[in-house]
Protein backbone atom coordinates (compact mmCIF):
# COMPACT_ATOMS: atom_id res chain seq x y z
CA UNK A 1 0.00 0.00 0.00
CA UNK A 2 1.49 3.35 -1.01
CA UNK A 3 1.41 6.50 1.13
CA UNK A 4 -1.68 8.00 -0.55
CA UNK A 5 -3.70 4.79 -0.16
CA UNK A 6 -2.53 4.64 3.44
CA UNK A 7 -3.73 8.20 4.17
CA UNK A 8 -7.12 7.50 2.57
CA UNK A 9 -7.38 4.27 4.61
CA UNK A 10 -6.80 6.14 7.89
CA UNK A 11 -3.25 4.92 8.49
CA UNK A 12 -1.58 7.20 11.06
CA UNK A 13 1.85 6.06 9.90
CA UNK A 14 1.05 6.95 6.28
CA UNK A 15 -0.26 10.37 7.37
CA UNK A 16 2.96 11.02 9.34
CA UNK A 17 5.08 10.01 6.35
CA UNK A 18 3.01 12.15 3.97
CA UNK A 19 3.36 15.28 6.15
CA UNK A 20 7.11 14.64 6.52
CA UNK A 21 7.44 14.30 2.73
CA UNK A 22 5.63 17.61 2.21
CA UNK A 23 7.49 19.43 4.99
CA UNK A 24 10.91 18.34 3.73
CA UNK A 25 9.98 18.72 0.03
CA UNK A 26 10.77 15.12 -0.88
CA UNK A 27 10.47 14.19 -4.55
CA UNK A 28 7.11 12.47 -4.07
CA UNK A 29 5.52 15.42 -2.16
CA UNK A 30 3.80 17.00 -5.18
CA UNK A 31 2.51 13.60 -6.36
CA UNK A 32 1.06 12.91 -2.90
CA UNK A 33 -0.70 16.31 -2.75
CA UNK A 34 -2.01 15.96 -6.31
CA UNK A 35 -3.53 12.56 -5.57
CA UNK A 36 -5.11 13.45 -2.22
CA UNK A 37 -6.58 16.78 -3.39
CA UNK A 38 -9.90 15.32 -4.72
CA UNK A 39 -10.47 13.82 -1.25
CA UNK A 40 -10.19 17.14 0.62
CA UNK A 41 -12.77 19.77 1.56
CA UNK A 42 -14.67 17.82 4.22
CA UNK A 43 -12.99 18.80 7.49
CA UNK A 44 -13.89 21.96 9.43
CA UNK A 45 -10.80 24.08 10.09
CA UNK A 46 -10.47 26.17 13.25
CA UNK A 47 -7.65 28.69 13.59
CA UNK A 48 -6.41 29.68 17.05
CA UNK A 49 -4.27 32.79 17.32
CA UNK A 50 -3.30 35.41 19.87
CA UNK A 51 -0.28 36.88 21.65
CA UNK A 52 2.45 34.65 23.11
CA UNK A 53 1.66 33.46 26.62
CA UNK A 54 -2.11 33.42 26.07
CA UNK A 55 -2.28 29.67 26.75
CA UNK A 56 -3.18 28.66 23.20
CA UNK A 57 -1.63 25.19 23.50
CA UNK A 58 -3.51 24.35 26.70
CA UNK A 59 -6.73 25.64 25.16
CA UNK A 60 -6.15 23.62 21.98
CA UNK A 61 -5.58 20.52 24.10
CA UNK A 62 -8.89 21.04 25.97
CA UNK A 63 -10.87 21.86 22.79
CA UNK A 64 -9.62 18.64 21.18
CA UNK A 65 -10.80 16.64 24.19
CA UNK A 66 -14.21 18.37 24.13
CA UNK A 67 -14.63 17.53 20.43
CA UNK A 68 -13.71 13.93 21.19
CA UNK A 69 -16.45 13.83 23.84
CA UNK A 70 -18.83 14.94 21.07
CA UNK A 71 -17.73 12.04 18.90
CA UNK A 72 -15.54 13.99 16.48
CA UNK A 73 -12.07 13.04 15.28
CA UNK A 74 -9.52 15.85 15.56
CA UNK A 75 -6.34 16.87 13.75
CA UNK A 76 -4.02 19.46 15.31
CA UNK A 77 -1.40 21.42 13.39
CA UNK A 78 0.67 23.25 16.01
CA UNK A 79 2.86 25.87 14.36
CA UNK A 80 6.16 26.51 16.12
CA UNK A 81 8.80 29.16 15.38
CA UNK A 82 11.66 27.72 13.33
CA UNK A 83 15.00 27.06 14.94
CA UNK A 84 17.62 29.09 13.02
CA UNK A 85 20.05 26.21 13.50
CA UNK A 86 18.20 23.04 12.56
CA UNK A 87 15.20 24.47 10.69
CA UNK A 88 13.02 22.41 13.03
CA UNK A 89 10.27 23.49 15.41
CA UNK A 90 11.64 24.81 18.72
CA UNK A 91 8.67 25.02 21.10
CA UNK A 92 7.64 21.41 20.72
CA UNK A 93 3.87 21.63 21.19
CA UNK A 94 3.72 17.85 20.92
CA UNK A 95 5.46 17.62 24.30
CA UNK A 96 2.66 19.67 25.87
CA UNK A 97 0.03 17.50 24.23
CA UNK A 98 1.51 14.09 25.09
CA UNK A 99 -1.71 12.81 26.66
CA UNK A 100 -3.58 13.46 23.39
CA UNK A 101 -1.28 11.21 21.40
CA UNK A 102 -2.66 8.07 23.09
CA UNK A 103 -6.10 8.84 21.63
CA UNK A 104 -6.50 7.20 18.20
CA UNK A 105 -9.08 9.85 17.30
CA UNK A 106 -6.59 12.71 17.63
CA UNK A 107 -3.59 13.35 15.37
CA UNK A 108 -1.09 16.01 16.49
CA UNK A 109 1.63 17.45 14.29
CA UNK A 110 4.04 20.20 15.27
CA UNK A 111 5.38 22.17 12.31
CA UNK A 112 7.97 24.88 11.85
CA UNK A 113 7.14 28.24 10.26
CA UNK A 114 10.08 27.76 7.86
CA UNK A 115 10.68 31.49 7.44
CA UNK A 116 7.07 32.33 6.64
CA UNK A 117 6.40 35.78 8.14
CA UNK A 118 2.80 35.09 9.02
CA UNK A 119 3.77 32.09 11.06
CA UNK A 120 2.05 29.87 8.49
CA UNK A 121 3.87 28.31 5.58
CA UNK A 122 2.35 26.57 2.58
CA UNK A 123 3.48 23.34 4.25
CA UNK A 124 0.99 23.97 7.08
CA UNK A 125 -1.82 24.27 4.53
CA UNK A 126 -0.70 21.01 2.95
CA UNK A 127 -0.69 19.30 6.38
CA UNK A 128 -4.29 20.48 6.86
CA UNK A 129 -5.25 18.97 3.49
CA UNK A 130 -3.58 15.67 4.37
CA UNK A 131 -5.42 15.46 7.71
CA UNK A 132 -8.63 16.32 5.85
CA UNK A 133 -8.10 13.50 3.31
CA UNK A 134 -7.18 11.17 6.21
CA UNK A 135 -10.70 11.76 7.53
CA UNK A 136 -10.52 14.03 10.58
CA UNK A 137 -13.78 15.90 11.25
CA UNK A 138 -12.18 18.97 12.85
CA UNK A 139 -8.69 20.39 12.28
CA UNK A 140 -7.29 22.92 14.75
CA UNK A 141 -4.43 25.11 13.54
CA UNK A 142 -2.65 26.72 16.47
CA UNK A 143 -0.31 29.55 15.46
CA UNK A 144 2.93 30.85 16.95
CA UNK A 145 1.55 34.10 18.34
CA UNK A 146 3.70 36.75 16.72
CA UNK A 147 1.28 39.66 16.66
CA UNK A 148 0.18 41.38 13.49
CA UNK A 149 1.45 38.82 10.98
CA UNK A 150 -0.89 36.27 12.57
CA UNK A 151 -3.62 37.50 10.22
CA UNK A 152 -2.37 34.79 7.85
CA UNK A 153 -4.44 32.29 9.82
CA UNK A 154 -7.62 33.71 8.31
CA UNK A 155 -6.52 32.32 4.92
CA UNK A 156 -6.42 28.79 6.33
CA UNK A 157 -9.32 28.61 8.80
CA UNK A 158 -13.11 28.49 8.47
CA UNK A 159 -13.49 29.90 12.00
CA UNK A 160 -10.77 32.01 13.58
CA UNK A 161 -10.56 32.37 17.34
CA UNK A 162 -8.45 35.07 18.98
CA UNK A 163 -7.19 34.14 22.46
CA UNK A 164 -6.23 36.92 24.87
CA UNK A 165 -5.30 37.08 28.56
CA UNK A 166 -5.67 39.80 31.16
CA UNK A 167 -2.58 41.31 32.74
CA UNK A 168 -0.33 41.79 29.70
CA UNK A 169 0.13 45.48 30.48
CA UNK A 170 -1.82 47.43 27.90
CA UNK A 171 -3.81 44.33 26.98
CA UNK A 172 -5.61 45.60 23.94
CA UNK A 173 -2.37 46.80 22.30
CA UNK A 174 -1.28 43.20 22.06
CA UNK A 175 -4.25 42.33 19.88
CA UNK A 176 -5.27 45.59 18.24
CA UNK A 177 -3.04 45.80 15.19
CA UNK A 178 -4.76 43.78 12.50
CA UNK A 179 -5.47 40.75 14.64
CA UNK A 180 -8.75 41.97 16.16
CA UNK A 181 -10.45 42.28 12.79
CA UNK A 182 -9.98 38.60 12.00
CA UNK A 183 -11.64 37.15 15.11
CA UNK A 184 -14.90 35.26 14.58
CA UNK A 185 -14.91 34.71 18.32
CA UNK A 186 -12.78 35.82 21.25
CA UNK A 187 -11.65 33.81 24.23
CA UNK A 188 -10.30 35.45 27.35
CA UNK A 189 -8.15 32.69 28.81
CA UNK A 190 -6.74 32.68 32.36
CA UNK A 191 -9.97 34.46 33.29
CA UNK A 192 -9.28 33.94 37.00
CA UNK A 193 -6.70 36.73 36.76
CA UNK A 194 -7.23 40.32 37.76
CA UNK A 195 -8.32 42.68 34.96
CA UNK A 196 -10.62 40.25 33.13
CA UNK A 197 -13.64 42.61 33.22
CA UNK A 198 -11.57 45.53 31.93
CA UNK A 199 -10.24 43.44 29.04
CA UNK A 200 -13.76 42.19 28.24
CA UNK A 201 -15.05 45.79 28.03
CA UNK A 202 -12.09 46.85 25.85
CA UNK A 203 -12.78 44.03 23.36
CA UNK A 204 -16.50 44.94 23.34
CA UNK A 205 -15.58 48.56 22.56
CA UNK A 206 -13.19 47.55 19.78
CA UNK A 207 -15.87 45.29 18.29
CA UNK A 208 -18.32 48.21 18.33
CA UNK A 209 -15.82 50.31 16.37
CA UNK A 210 -14.95 47.52 13.93
CA UNK A 211 -18.45 46.18 13.41
CA UNK A 212 -18.86 46.29 9.64
CA UNK A 213 -21.47 43.57 9.51
CA UNK A 214 -24.30 43.04 11.96
CA UNK A 215 -24.85 39.50 10.64
CA UNK A 216 -22.36 37.92 13.01
CA UNK A 217 -21.38 39.46 16.33
CA UNK A 218 -18.21 37.74 17.61
CA UNK A 219 -18.97 36.28 21.04
CA UNK A 220 -16.52 36.72 23.91
CA UNK A 221 -16.02 33.65 26.09
CA UNK A 222 -14.03 33.32 29.29
CA UNK A 223 -11.96 30.25 30.07
CA UNK A 224 -9.47 28.94 32.56
CA UNK A 225 -8.14 26.23 30.25
CA UNK A 226 -5.75 24.80 32.84
CA UNK A 227 -8.76 24.03 35.08
CA UNK A 228 -11.06 22.94 32.22
CA UNK A 229 -13.40 25.90 32.81
CA UNK A 230 -15.46 27.42 29.98
CA UNK A 231 -14.34 24.95 27.28
CA UNK A 232 -17.86 23.66 26.46
CA UNK A 233 -19.06 27.23 25.82
CA UNK A 234 -16.16 27.90 23.44
CA UNK A 235 -16.94 24.79 21.38
CA UNK A 236 -20.63 25.78 21.38
CA UNK A 237 -19.64 29.21 20.00
CA UNK A 238 -17.49 27.61 17.28
CA UNK A 239 -20.40 25.36 16.31
CA UNK A 240 -22.75 28.39 16.24
CA UNK A 241 -20.36 30.19 13.88
CA UNK A 242 -20.09 27.09 11.69
CA UNK A 243 -23.90 26.90 11.51
CA UNK A 244 -24.06 30.61 10.60
CA UNK A 245 -21.50 30.17 7.78
CA UNK A 246 -23.33 27.21 6.26
CA UNK A 247 -26.80 28.76 6.57
CA UNK A 248 -25.73 32.03 4.94
CA UNK A 249 -23.55 30.36 2.30
CA UNK A 250 -20.54 32.38 3.46
CA UNK A 251 -18.53 29.17 3.87
CA UNK A 252 -18.32 28.93 0.06
CA UNK A 253 -16.85 32.43 -0.18
CA UNK A 254 -14.31 31.72 2.60
CA UNK A 255 -13.18 28.51 0.92
CA UNK A 256 -13.02 30.09 -2.56
CA UNK A 257 -10.81 32.88 -1.14
CA UNK A 258 -8.63 30.25 0.52
CA UNK A 259 -8.08 28.43 -2.78
CA UNK A 260 -7.38 31.73 -4.54
CA UNK A 261 -4.73 32.75 -1.99
CA UNK A 262 -3.19 29.25 -2.06
CA UNK A 263 -2.84 29.23 -5.84
CA UNK A 264 -1.49 32.80 -5.84
CA UNK A 265 1.10 31.88 -3.19
CA UNK A 266 2.14 28.79 -5.16
CA UNK A 267 2.55 30.81 -8.37
CA UNK A 268 4.59 33.46 -6.52
CA UNK A 269 6.76 30.76 -4.94
CA UNK A 270 7.38 29.05 -8.29
CA UNK A 271 8.31 32.35 -9.98
CA UNK A 272 10.52 33.37 -7.04
CA UNK A 273 12.44 30.09 -7.20
CA UNK A 274 12.86 30.47 -10.95
CA UNK A 275 14.20 34.01 -10.56
CA UNK A 276 16.60 32.90 -7.80
CA UNK A 277 17.96 30.05 -9.92
CA UNK A 278 17.99 31.61 -13.39
CA UNK A 279 18.63 35.28 -12.62
CA UNK A 280 20.04 35.96 -9.14
CA UNK A 281 22.53 33.08 -9.18
CA UNK A 282 24.13 34.19 -12.47
CA UNK A 283 27.41 36.00 -13.07
CA UNK A 284 25.58 38.58 -15.15
CA UNK A 285 23.43 39.52 -12.15
CA UNK A 286 26.55 40.01 -10.01
CA UNK A 287 27.88 42.43 -12.66
CA UNK A 288 24.51 44.22 -12.70
CA UNK A 289 24.74 44.74 -8.91
CA UNK A 290 28.21 46.29 -9.33
CA UNK A 291 26.89 48.64 -12.01
CA UNK A 292 23.98 49.58 -9.72
CA UNK A 293 26.42 50.28 -6.90
CA UNK A 294 28.37 52.58 -9.22
CA UNK A 295 25.10 54.29 -10.21
CA UNK A 296 25.72 53.49 -13.88
CA UNK A 297 22.17 52.10 -14.18
CA UNK A 298 18.98 52.31 -12.09
CA UNK A 299 17.13 49.45 -10.31
CA UNK A 300 13.78 50.25 -11.99
CA UNK A 301 15.13 49.57 -15.47
CA UNK A 302 16.90 46.43 -14.21
CA UNK A 303 13.67 45.07 -12.75
CA UNK A 304 11.75 45.83 -15.97
CA UNK A 305 14.37 43.96 -17.96
CA UNK A 306 14.31 40.92 -15.61
CA UNK A 307 10.51 40.76 -15.62
CA UNK A 308 10.41 40.99 -19.41
CA UNK A 309 12.92 38.14 -19.77
CA UNK A 310 11.10 35.94 -17.20
CA UNK A 311 7.71 36.48 -18.85
CA UNK A 312 9.19 35.61 -22.24
3-state secondary structure the chain: CCHHHHHHCCCHHHHHHHHHHHHCCCCCHHHHHHHHHHHCCCCEEEEEECCCCCCHHHHHHHHHHHHHHCCCCEEEEEEECECCCCCCECCCHHHHCHHHHCCCCEEEEEEECCCCCCCCCHHHHHHHHHHHHHCCCEEEEECCCCHHHHHHHHHCCCEEEEEECCCCCCCCHHHHCCCHHHCCEEEECCCCCCCHHHHHHHHHHHHHHHCCCCCCCCCEEECEHHHCECHHHHHHHHHHHHHHHHHHCHHHHHHHHHHHHHHHHHHHHHHHHHHHHHHHCCHHHHHHHHHHHCCCCCHHHHHHHHHHHHHC
Residues 163 and 288 occupy one common structural domain: no
What local confidence, expressed as pLDDT, does residue 149 receive?
45
What local confidence, expressed as pLDDT, does residue 294 receive?
93
Measure the CA–CA gap between 239 and 173, rounded to whole angstroms: 29
Residues 172 and 293 occupy one common structural domain: no
Alpha-carbon dihedral angle through residues 130, 183, 260, 119, given to the nearest 10 degrees = -60
| Backbone Cα Rg of the chain | 22
State the average pLDDT over residues 238-266.
Answer: 93
Whole-number average pLDDT of the chain: 84
Residues 267 and 202 occupy one common structural domain: no
pLDDT of 219 above 90: yes
State the average pLDDT over residues 92-108.
Answer: 71
221 bridge partner residues:
187
Q: Write out pLDDT tens, residues 137-167.
A: 999 999 876 554 456 677 789 999 999 888 7
CATH of the domain at 114: 3.40.50.300
Find the domain containing 177 and state its range: 39-248
Residues 89 and 229 occupy one common structural domain: yes
Measure the CA–CA gap between 273 and 99, rounded to whole angstroms: 41
pLDDT of 210 above 90: no
Residues 306 and 219 occupy one common structural domain: no
pLDDT of 123 above 50: yes
Q: What's phi and psi for 183, nearest 5 deg?
A: -75, 125
Answer whether 41's CB lies under 8 Å from 130's CB. no
Residues 101 and 164 occupy one common structural domain: yes
Residue 147 covered by a domain: yes
Of the residues 220, 248, 276, which one is the last residue of a structural domain? 248
Amino acid sequence: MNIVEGVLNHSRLALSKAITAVENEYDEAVTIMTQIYPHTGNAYVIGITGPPGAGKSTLTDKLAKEYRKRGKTVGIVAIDPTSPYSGGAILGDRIRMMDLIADEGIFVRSMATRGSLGGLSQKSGDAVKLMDAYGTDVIIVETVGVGQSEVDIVKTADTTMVVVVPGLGDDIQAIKAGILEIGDLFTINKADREGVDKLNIEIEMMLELNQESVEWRPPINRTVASKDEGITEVVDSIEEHKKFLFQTGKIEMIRANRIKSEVTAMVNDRISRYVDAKVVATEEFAKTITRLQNREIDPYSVVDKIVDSVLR
